[in-house]
């Protein structure tokens, strides 16, 4: 009886070990693991492609990658899509990026606009460390990283009367959604730090009920926005402005003048204008998200 | 020595359940109330839990002390009514309380700690007094004291578990934060009046 049980456990173990080997073989080589307050951070590499992964054990492979032999190249659609706001604001001077990741978005901005002031907010100091050690991210005179939560940062910036003309909201790529940054009140605080010609880019969810709730909330806050999806990406980018959105012809024109400068990052800006739409493809009867009602993590599961 | 019970045991058990439920409902909403000002980082949760634990600790101590004097149904009822009343500022003055704290304390960890003190310390302390006082009201024989204490912990902790689950799984999906808080205030208030009612009219029976 006992012997059988030991045999059973042993066979279970060997099965586990074999499957672990198989899993390791099919994936990239792990070159670094960082302990963090919030999530596990793993740096992997396949050939010249180095990636930052969150929560590997959950199978939820949120990642950001860079090509070591071509570091300018942006590897993912959502990163490239974050520059669609340039169609509306071609020369940002004060840029705010919420969520650092591997740092590719702020680094591209720094490369494109060397004299622009760039503030980056990242809640997890371990991410800042890894971005610095493995993804060539460095603070400069014009680019500062602030470790902390995005919402109080924006609230304080508003109290100080600071303004930004390009804001990228990229805080939703983790496993857990910061629900306080989905609300109408938060968007009002964001609006308070936007210049009149400023643009807000939000990298958000394209699936689940949350898509509807989120769209309704942005619509109430900005009255209209460009919805930007690519067939190759599971992300949806929201592009919003304080004033009236420019007509498509202006965007087409802007894309022509941006084409050359964005080419080396892999941003096919010329293709973007026709992908932007103000047409509502969400359920408009959904409830707006507010500080009083924001069950983002529950809505995501449905 | 056998003493006469002031209140029926089933009623006290019920009340312990309600207090446990409300403590965790308010605690679970704490992060949601604080996050617009101090963010959603781990330290904000840490602040909330720390303050709830400290407030409960103090409440246990004071509640136990109070129970040594002639325990009464009125005092017991007042815990519930007091906790309900001191929870109202969480609903009405949260922004007024948190705004100056956020402006004056740059570090979100200490900001959230102070905000938790001002918002949650008093009502949670009062809710903490209920447990030891309930034990006192349920014990009539010395040899039963451990049994009754165990039973009460069981019931109030069960209430806490359900309060946590209900709030985080369902209430936030169905209601607004303030609606849930008003629900807690109302339940505590009602509990207080039910105790008063029993104490006045049904004591003899």
Whole-angstrom Cα distance, residue A296 to residue A278? 23
Q: Average pLDDT, stretch B93-102?
A: 95
pLDDT, average across residues A165-173: 89
Across the range A189-199, mean pLDDT stands at: 97
Collapsing DSSP to helix, strand or coil, A277 comes out as strand
Most B-contacting residue of A174, A188, A287, A292 (CB-CB within 10 A), to test interface:
A292
Q: Mean pLDDT, to the nearest integer, of A39-53?
A: 87
- Chain-chain contact of B40 with A295 (C-beta, under 8 angstroms): no
What integer pLDDT is reported at residue A204 of this predicted model?
Answer: 84
| Domains of chain A, each with CATH number or no CATH | 77-300 (3.40.50.150)
Structure tokens of A34? 């960082």
> Predicted confidence band at A300 (pLDDT cuts at 50, 70, 90)?
confident
Nearest partner of A253 among A272, A266, A267, judged by Cα: A272
The verdict on ipTM greater than 0.85 is yes
Which stretches of chain A sit within 8 Å of chain B by CB?
A: 37-38, 123, 148-152, 155-156, 159, 178-180, 183, 185-186, 290-295, 298-299
**Would an 8 Å CB–CB cutoff place B21 in contact with chain A?**
no
pLDDT of residue B101: 96
Whole-number pLDDT of residue A19? 55
- Is the per-residue pLDDT at A134 higher than 70? yes
B111, B172, B174, B181, best to mutate vs chain A, most A CBs in 10 Å: B172
Average pLDDT over residues A150-174: 92
pLDDT band at A25 (very low <50, low <70, confident <90, very high): very low
pLDDT digits (tens, 9 = 90+) for A224-263: 999 999 888 778 999 999 999 999 999 999 999 999 999 9
Is B6's pLDDT higher than 90?
A: no
> What is the pLDDT at residue A76?
84
N-terminal to C-terminal alpha carbon distance within chain B? 21
- Calculate how close chain A gets to B16, using CA atoms only, in Å: 28
pLDDT of residue A112: 96
**Spatial strand order in the sheet of A235-241:** A143-147, A117-122, A94-98, A164-169, A194-205, A235-241, A226-229, A276-277
At residue A5 the predicted structure's pLDDT band, cuts being 50, 70 and 90, is low
- Looking at the DSSP bridge assignments, the partners of residue A144 are A119
CB B41 within 8 A of CB B192: no
What are the tens digits of pLDDT across the range A107-120? 999 999 999 999 99
- Give percent of chain A above pLDDT 90: 64
Q: Rounded CA gap, A39 and A207, in Å?
A: 23
Give residue B70's pLDDT band: very low, low, confident or very high (50, 70, 90): confident
**pLDDT level of residue B120 (50, 70, 90 thresholds):** very high
Give mean pLDDT, residues B50-75.
95
Give pLDDT tens digits for A153-164.
Answer: 999 999 999 999
Closest CB to B108: pick one of A152, A290, A293: A152
Tell whether the model's pLDDT for residue A27 goes beyond 80.
no
Contact list in A for residue B108 (CB cut-off 8 A) is 148-149, 152
A101 or B59, which is more confident? B59
- Structure tokens belonging to residue A7: 């045999």
Please indicate whether, in this complex, the C-beta atoms of B35 and A159 are within 8 angstroms of each other.
Answer: no
- The answer to whether A69 and A57 have CB atoms below 8 angstroms apart is no
* Averaged pLDDT, B96-118: 95
CA distances from A245 to A203, A277, B85, B91 (A): 18, 11, 49, 38
What is d(CA B94, CA A110) in angstroms, rounded to the nearest whole number?
40
Q: Does residue B178 sit at the A interface (CB-CB below 8 Å)?
A: yes
Burial of B152 (0-12, 13-18, 19+ CB in 10 A): buried
What is the per-residue pLDDT across A197-221, written as a single tens digit (0 to 9) for each?
A: 999 999 887 777 889 999 999 999 9
Instruction: Indicate if A165 belongs to the active site.
Output: no
Q: Do B169 and A298 touch (CB under 8 A)?
A: yes
Q: What is the pLDDT of residue B142?
A: 86
The whole-chain average pLDDT of chain A stands at 88
Q: Which of A124, A165, A170, A212 is catalytic?
A: A170
Residue from the list A38, A159, A185 with its beta carbon closest to the beta carbon of B36: A185
Summarize the confidence of residues B112-124 as an average pLDDT.
98
Q: Are residues A95 and A113 in contact, defined by beta-carbon separation less than 8 angstroms?
A: yes
B49 pLDDT higher than 70: yes
DSSP character string of A152-184: HHHHHHHHTT--EEEEEE----SSS--GGGSSH
- Predicted confidence at residue A57, as pLDDT, reads 56
Residue A23: pLDDT above 70? no
| A291 contacts on B by Cβ (under 8 Å) | 32, 36, 177
The chain A residue lying nearest B91, using CA atoms, is: A292
Give the pair of three-digit tokens for residue A40. 């596990």
Ordered by where they begin, the domains of chain B are 18-199 (1.20.1250)
Q: What per-residue confidence (pLDDT) applies to B1?
A: 45
* Closest Cα in chain B, distance from residue A98 (Å): 13
Helices (H) and strands (E) in chain B, counts: 8, 0
The arithmetic mean of pLDDT across residues A90-108, rounded, is: 94
Helix (H) / strand (E) element for A271: namely none
């Amino acid at each position: 009886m006992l012997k059988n049980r030991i045999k059973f456990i042993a066979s279970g173990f060997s099965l586990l070990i074999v499957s672990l080997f198989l899993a390791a073989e099919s994936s990239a080589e792990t070159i670094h693991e960082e302990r963090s307050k919030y999530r596990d951070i793993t740096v992997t590499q396949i050939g010249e492609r180095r990636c930052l992964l969150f929560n590997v054990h959950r199978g939820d492979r949120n990642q950001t990658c860079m090509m070591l032999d071509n570091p300018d190249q942006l590897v993912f659609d959502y990163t490239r899509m974050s520059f669609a706001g340039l169609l509306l604001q071609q020369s940002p001077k004060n840029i705010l990026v919420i969520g650092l990741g591997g740092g590719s978005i702020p680094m591209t901005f720094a490369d494109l606009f060397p004299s622009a002031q760039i503030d980056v907010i990242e809640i997890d100091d371990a991410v800042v460390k890894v971005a610095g050690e493995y993804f060539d991210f460095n603070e400069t005179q014009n680019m500062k990283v602030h470790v902390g939560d995005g919402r109080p940062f924006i609230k304080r910036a508003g109290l100080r009367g600071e303004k930004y003309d390009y804001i990228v909201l990229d805080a939703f790529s983790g496993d857990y959604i910061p629900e306080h940054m989905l609300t109408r009140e938060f968007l009002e605080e964001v609006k308070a730090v936007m210049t009149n010609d400023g643009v807000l880019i939000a990298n958000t969810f394209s699936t689940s009920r949350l898509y509807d709730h989120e769209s309704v909330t942005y619509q109430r806050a900005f009255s209209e926005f460009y919805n930007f999806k690519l067939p190759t990406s599971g992300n949806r980018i929201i592009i919003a402005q304080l004033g009236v959105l420019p007509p498509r012809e202006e965007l087409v024109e802007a894309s022509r003048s941006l084409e050359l400068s964005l080419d080396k990052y892999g941003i096919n800006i010329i293709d973007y204008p026709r992908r932007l739409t103000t047409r509502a493809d969400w359920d408009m009867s959904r409830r707006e998200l507010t500080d009083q009602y924001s069950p983002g993590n529950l809505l995501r599961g449905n | 020595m056998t003493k006469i019970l002031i209140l029926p045991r089933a009623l006290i058990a019920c009340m312990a359940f309600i207090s446990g439920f409300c403590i965790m409902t308010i605690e679970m909403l704490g992060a949601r109330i604080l996050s617009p000002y101090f963010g959603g980082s781990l330290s904000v949760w840490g602040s909330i839990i720390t303050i709830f634990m400290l407030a409960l600790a103090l409440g246990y101590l004071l509640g136990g002390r109070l129970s040594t004097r002639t325990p009464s149904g009125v005092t017991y009822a007042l815990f519930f009514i007091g906790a309900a009343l001191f929870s109202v500022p969480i609903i009405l003055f949260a922004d007024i309380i948190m705004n100056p704290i956020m402006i004056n304390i740059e570090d979100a960890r200490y900001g959230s700690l102070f905000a938790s003190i001002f918002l949650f310390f008093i009502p949670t302390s009062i809710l903490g007094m209920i447990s030891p006082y309930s034990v006192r009201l349920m014990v009539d024989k010395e040899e039963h004291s451990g049994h009754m204490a165990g039973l009460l912990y069981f019931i109030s902790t069960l209430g806490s578990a359900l309060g946590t689950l209900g709030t985080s799984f369902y209430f936030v999906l169905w209601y607004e934060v303030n609606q849930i808080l008003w629900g807690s205030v109302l339940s505590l208030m009602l509990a207080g009046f039910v105790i008063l009612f029993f104490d006045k009219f049904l004591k003899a029976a």
